[in-house]
Amino acid sequence: MAHRILVLYGSYRTDRQGIRLARYLERAFGEAGNDVDLIDAKAIDLPMLDRMYKEYAAGEAPAVLEDLAGKIRTADAFVFVTGEYNWGIQPGLKNLTDHFLEEWFWRPAAIASYSAGRMAGARAALAWHGTLSEMGMVVISSSLAVGGISDALDAEARPIGKGGASLERAFPRFSADLAWWTEAACAQRNKSKPPY
C-alpha cells in the first residue's frame, strides 16, 4: 500500500552533509511506491517561532505556514532526519516542528540520524523520541543511524563504502516498521475519530 510520507530535514549549515541522507530516504521510500515529499527547513526558512500556525486567525497565516500545515495534515507518516549538535537536536528542524502541534497528531514518526563521527547522531535521535511523542506522534522502534555521513553517501545520495552498505542493509527493516505502523494508524483513523 502506498503512503504519503514527509521526510523532514533541518540543517542550515553551508556544507551540510545530512541532506544526502534526506535525499536517500526520499528516493528509497519513493522507489518502494510511496508518495514522498522532502521538507527542507533551510529552503522553507521559517522565522524563529513567534506564533504557531494555530495562533493565526483562519486565512491569516503566512502562505508558507498554510502550505506546510496542509502537507502535514495530509501525510500518513513522517521521517525526521537529524544531525547532532552538542549532544542535542538541530535548531532548524526543531523550529520547523514547533510551528505546528495538532497537525502532527495520530501518525507514526521515524527517526534517521547522522553525524560526521562514529556516534551517528544517536543522542539527537534519543532526544527526538520524547519531543515527537509529546507532539502526538507514535515513534517507531526502528531507527537509522549513519556515522561518517560523507563516507556513507556520495554527493548524489548514493550509498558508498561500508557505511553505505550498512545503510542499505538497515533500510528495509526501517521501512517495513514505518509501513506497519502507518497502515495501523490509517486503519484506526478510518475506523473511529481520534479521542481529541
Per-domain residue ranges of the chain: 4-191
Look at residues 57, 64, 25, 59 and name the one whose alpha carbon lies nearest to residue 41: 64
Model confidence over 109-127: pLDDT tens digits? 999 999 998 889 999 999 9
- The pLDDT value given to residue 42: 96
Question: For the chain, which residues score pLDDT lower than 70?
Answer: none
pTM of the model: 0.96
Q: Which residues pair with 37 in a beta bridge?
A: 6
- The pLDDT value given to residue 85: 87
- The pLDDT value given to residue 118: 87
Question: What are the Cα distances from residue 2, in Å, to 5, 13, 34, 119, 161?
Answer: 9, 33, 5, 33, 30
**Residue 94 and residue 134 in contact, taking contact as beta carbons nearer than 8 Å:** no
- The pLDDT value given to residue 17: 94
- The pLDDT value given to residue 60: 96
Phi/psi of residue 185, each to 5°? -65, -40
Superfamily (CATH) of domain 4-191: Flavodoxin domain (3.40.50.360)
With 0-12 / 13-18 / 19 or more C-beta atoms within 10 angstroms meaning exposed / middle / buried, residue 35 is: middle
**Residue 171 and residue 144 in contact, taking contact as beta carbons nearer than 8 Å:** yes
- The pLDDT value given to residue 1: 73
Look at residues 171, 164, 97 and name the one whose alpha carbon lies nearest to residue 127: 97
- The pLDDT value given to residue 122: 94
Rounded to whole angstroms, the Cα distance separating 156 from 146 reads 16
